[in-house]
Amino acid sequence: MEITKKGHSCVRLTKEGRTLVIDPGGFSEEDAALGAEAVLVTHEHPDHFDEGRLRAALDADAATELWTLRSVAERLAPAYPGRVHEVGEGDTFRAAGFDVEVHGQLHAVIHPDLPRITNVGYAVDDGALFHPGDALTDPGRPVRTLLLPVHAPWNKFSEILDYVRRLAPERALAIHDGLLSDAGLAVYGRNLGPQGPGLGGADYARLAPGESAAL
């Protein structure tokens, strides 16, 4: 499997010539979802779900399909019958040749005065990769590569560090970093790297937008 960062929380996975994209939102590269055989969306916030861009991808290729939770699916299903699939915690499915498990139910708390929305995470290919969306969900299974939301209005450094330690992946790759400056990225890199308090054996790395790596 190869992973390509497409900006913020969006990643593009390729395997055996097939492509799956997770969370092509407004902070992602504009063409992030184009040409994907399958698209997964974790929740409705615009930095994860850009309706216009996703419609453009669905219109461009009649074979492209979408898996997502109800709040997103109900906005797109009428226009793309049979191609938009509603999922929730505990569901499993196969998309673009990838085996996917759905974990989690709710977005992390931003503030008690703000209502929580739904959010799901996706474990891909028997835990080869886990994208939690906007939550620190424990999928209750081994994870080799954890996509780690490093910076958001709903988290703090101690929480994400303890999250990595709890899940004990082989590696943590940074996502949800679109609001960080170069200076901020450097701070997170130091604190999550060898100079920091330690991730319990996991390796930390960040892919720049457009950069790829083999998993």
DSSP 23: -
Half-sphere exposure of 86 (CA within 13 A, CB side): 11
Domain annotation covers residue 26: yes
Q: Looking at residue 181, which CATH number applies to its domain?
A: 3.60.15.10
pLDDT digits (tens, 9 = 90+) for 132-163: 999 999 999 999 999 999 999 999 999 999 99
* Sheet bearing 121-124, strands edge to edge: 92-95, 98-103, 121-124, 129-131, 145-149, 171-175, 203-205
Pseudo-torsion of CA 86, 115, 174, 2, nearest 10°? 10
Total domains, the chain: 1
Q: What's CA 207's distance to the chain center, in Å?
A: 14
What's the rounded mean pLDDT across residues 32-47?
Answer: 98
Domain annotation covers residue 214: no
Domain annotation covers residue 131: yes
Q: Are 103 and 96 in contact (CB under 8 A)?
A: no
pLDDT of amino acid 46: 98
% residues pLDDT > 90 (the chain):
100
Here the tokens at position 95 are: 């998309």
Domain annotation covers residue 213: no
Domain annotation covers residue 215: no
Domain residue limits at 65: 2-206
pLDDT of amino acid 118: 98
pLDDT digits (tens, 9 = 90+) for 157-190: 999 999 999 999 999 999 999 999 999 999 999 9
Domain annotation covers residue 167: yes
Model pTM? 0.97
pLDDT digits (tens, 9 = 90+) for 86-124: 999 999 999 999 999 999 999 999 999 999 999 999 999
Domain annotation covers residue 130: yes
pLDDT of amino acid 182: 97
Mean pLDDT score across all residues of the chain = 97
Domain annotation covers residue 211: no
